[in-house]
Chains A and B, each alone.
Chain A
Amino acid sequence: MLGLQILIDGFAVSALYGLGAVGFTLIFGVSGVLNLSHGAIMVTAATVAWALAERAGAYGGALGGLASAFLLSFVTYFAVVRPIQRSRSIPSEETEIFVLTGTLLWGIMIQVAIAYLATTSPHTVRPLISGVTVIGGVRTPTNEILTAALCWAAIGALTLLIERTRAGKALLAASVNPRGLTLLGFELERVHLLVWAIYGVLVGVAGVLLGAFLGASSDNVGTLTASAFSIVVLGGLGSVPGSLLAAYCIGYLETLTAYLVSPSLRNIPALILLVAVVWARPQGFLGRR
């Protein structure tokens, strides 16, 4: 009973972690950017979905949240990331730290704006389906099942896109060898636009689902970014399957700790695991060096 409960709860939380991290890792893989405004964009999606739900209904709100994340993702790219990458006064070996600092500042700006417009209090997106479903004696909110299902649907859609479409292949190729792709007549700029668009959708879905499942507040911005960052490093920077694997490791480790040890120690084993893995195998689970 307890085992099944841990299995179910861990699954949904991990799926959410995974979806949040997949977009993050994709951006890194293709364009080498660690986007530290990640958490802020996620919370924006949740907050907009909450605010619109009253007038536009649950679906309208969810769509609005998605659109806001999509938009912010492009603003992040055009207003922050690209100017830094193209700047001639930033030496190339320091681009990384500038992108990190720039996206961090941008994230703070979004976070403060959310706090200003919608207070720091958490908001919950109206679940698309309410009620509970009993699985093997474990009472599970139907919304939780829906969350896990939607996460996997989004991940599945992404996999299809990458594996089955030409644009997706180009995306994959760009993460392996961008120069090779240029030589084959692909404009890298377009590939980057595509990856930021995909990122916008993924992070939007993750944000809205997070808002419906656990609720989101502007105070969560830092934690969300840090958890995506950790999962992505643990899984191997740039590796989508690695991120999913890592998301499930961390998700279950946290759930196990919360159930079997104490909810207040929830984060600690995951942090220790992270340090241990980074120490022993810096490329992460499935990373290439």
Chain B
Amino acid sequence: MGSLLRSRLFWGSLAGLALAAAFPLVGGPYTIGVLIPAFYFAVFAMSWDLLFGFAGEVNFGPTFLIGLGAYGAGIVDARYGLGVPLSVAFGTALAVAGGVALALPALRLSGPYFGLVTLVAVLLLQQMVTVFADVSGGEIGLSLPDVLSIDDATNYYFALGFMALSGAALFALSRSPAGLILQACGQDPVEAQALGFNVAKHKLAAFVVSAFFSGLAGALLVFYYGTASPGTFIDIAVGVQIIIAAVLGGRRTIVGAVLGAVFLVVAGEVLRPLGQMSTFAVSAVALAVILLAPAGFLGTLLFRRGAA
């Protein structure tokens, strides 16, 4: 506990959170609207970082889990009118099941092979949504009868609170004894096994936790937008953004992913005058960060002496 109070990261995060909480007092309604999805996005990126940075699994398909959560929740709400809480619970459960399904090949395959399976999982999910358009709304998207709230401030604090709680949970997990074991499993499975850790069990758990937060955030985001479409929740481009956010913020930091996600969304807004070229500029900045400061924002701040 003492180390927590002495940690720069802890106080920095707290300060960031306080700033974010005070932001609606100064920020315009639009900037608030921009930040709301950014907060959910940050949870996606943090969940991805748990898998990549700690369990050592390169998941090219974060949107497989997110999409299951989002569509799971959206479909039961739109078709059976379950209401927000039950639908979110259902979507999250579906995502967790998807996480387990994804963990099975992960335990067998390595490197690019597992990466490809995750990519294919996304493509298959996208195809399923298109093929079963009667249920899913297909490419057209699914409109929901319910939304979380139409009030920006409510949505903002809900999203901020959700992100803070998820971040705290994921961060605490990563620093806990179980997180230490997970990191050992990700870095050197052979040595971790020789120390008596059941690598399969810990990796499976990491997939479940990552899927839980991805799915939950996906389900909540669906109820913020009030619609679900493959382009918003499943498309590979969305997954790419999440990976870039996590790498930009700093791998293996969990909290860095928040910085990366907020940076991507805010930079996209700031560069909007560039029109279509704003995506170009954001990608170029991200590429430059990867080339020049591969530890990412937070990684560079925290581990300046190259102890990556």
> What are 28 A-B residue pairs whose CB atoms fall within 8 Å in the complex?
A34-B112, A80-B287, A83-B291, A89-B293, A89-B294, A89-B308, A90-B308, A98-B290, A100-B58, A101-B247, A102-B287, A102-B290, A104-B240, A104-B243, A104-B244, A105-B244, A105-B284, A108-B279, A108-B280, A113-B280, A115-B276, A116-B275, A222-B236, A222-B237, A237-B112, A267-B123, A275-B120, A278-B116
Q: Which residues of B in the span 104-128 have a Cβ within 8 Å of any Cβ on A?
A: 105, 108-109, 111-113, 115-117, 119-120, 123-124, 127
Interface membership of B306, Cβ < 8 A? yes
Asked if B286 is at the interface (CB within 8 A of a chain A CB), the reply is: yes
Does A102 lie within 8 Å of B113, measured CB to CB? no
Residues of B within 8 A of A243 (CB): none
* Inter-chain contact A279/B247, CB cutoff 8 Å: no
Q: Please give 13 more A-B residue pairs, beta carbons under 8 A apart, in addition to A89-B306, A226-B119.
A: A34-B112, A90-B308, A94-B251, A104-B244, A105-B287, A109-B280, A112-B277, A116-B280, A230-B120, A271-B124, A274-B116, A278-B109, A282-B108
Contact A268 B124 (CB under 8 A): yes
A side interface size, CB within 8 A: 41
Expressed in whole angstroms, the minimum distance between the Cβ of A115 and any Cβ of chain B is: 6
The smallest C-beta distance from A270 to any residue of chain B, in angstroms, reads 10
A112 contact set on B, CB distance < 8 A: 276-277, 279-280, 283
Q: Is A75 an interface residue, CB under 8 A from the partner?
A: no
**How far in angstroms is the closest Cβ of chain A from B157?**
33
Asked if A96 CB lies within 8 Å of chain B CBs, one says yes
- If A91-B308, A112-B279, A275-B120 touch, whether A233 touches B240 (CB-CB below 8 Å) is no
- Closest A residue to B127 by CB, please name it: A268
Give B52-78 interface residues, CB cut-off 8 Å to A.
Answer: 52, 58
Contact B308 A105 (CB under 8 A): no
B243 contacts across to A, CB distance below 8 A: 101, 104
Q: Does B295 contact A (CB under 8 A)?
A: yes
CA distance in complex: A229, B117 (Å)? 11
Tell me whether A90 and B120 are in contact (CB under 8 A).
no
- Which residues of B are found within 8 Å of A271, using beta-carbon distances? 120, 123-124, 127
| CB under 8 Å from chain B, chain A span 89-147 | 89-91, 94, 96-98, 100-102, 104-106, 108-109, 112-113, 115-116
Residues of chain A within 8 A (CB-CB) of B280 are 108-109, 112-113, 116
Give residues of chain A (166-225) contacting chain B, Cβ–Cβ below 8 Å.
222
A interface, by DSSP: helix, strand, loop or mixed? Answer: helix
Contact residues in A for B294 (Cβ distance below 8 Å): 87, 89-90, 98
B165 at the interface (CB under 8 A from A): no
Which residues of chain A are within 8 angstroms of B240 by Cβ–Cβ distance?
104, 108
Q: Closest residue of chain B to A265, judged by CB?
A: B131
Among B58, B120, B127, B247, the residue within 8 A (CB) of A274 is B120
Residues of B that sit less than 8 Å from A by CB: 52, 58, 105, 108-109, 111-113, 115-117, 119-120, 123-124, 127, 130-131, 236-237, 240, 243-244, 247, 251, 275-277, 279-280, 283-284, 286-287, 290-291, 293-295, 306, 308
> For chains A and B in complex, what number of residue pairs have CB atoms within 8 angstroms?
108
List A contacts of B276 (CB < 8 A): 112, 115-116
CB A275 to nearest CB in B, in angstroms, measures 5
B109, A229: Cβ atoms closer than 8 Å: no
Name B291's closest neighbour in chain A (CB-CB). Answer: A83
What residues of A have a CB within 8 angstroms of the CB of B119 in the complex? 226, 229
Give Cα A190–Cα B130 distance, bound, in whole angstroms: 47
Q: How distant is the Cα of A274 from the Cα of B237 in the complex, in angstroms? A: 21
Closest to B237 in A: A222
The minimal Cβ–Cβ distance linking B106 to chain A, given in whole angstroms, is 12
Cα(A278)–Cα(B112), bound, Å: 10
B123 touches A109 (CB 8 A): no
> Does the CB pair A84–B290 fall under 8 Å?
yes
Distance of A268 Cα from B113 Cα, bound (Å):
19
Q: Which of chain B's residues has its CB closest to A266's CB?
A: B127
Inside 8 A of A84's CB, which chain B residues have their CB?
Answer: 290-291
Instruction: Tell me whether A105 and B283 are in contact (CB under 8 A).
Output: yes
A97-B49 Cα distance, complex, nearest whole Å? 13
A101, A104, A274: most-surrounded residue (chain B CB, <10 A): A101
In Å, the complex CA distance between A265 and B159 comes to 38
A101 CA to B245 CA, complexed, in Å? 11
Residues in A neighbouring B131, C-beta threshold 8 A: 264-265, 268
Q: How far is the CA of A248 from the CA of B133 in the complex (A)?
A: 31
CB–CB B295/A279 < 8 A: no
Flag if A282 contacts B287 (CB, 8 Å): no
- Flag if A105 contacts B290 (CB, 8 Å): yes
Given contacts A113-B280, A275-B120, contact A233 B290 (CB under 8 A): no
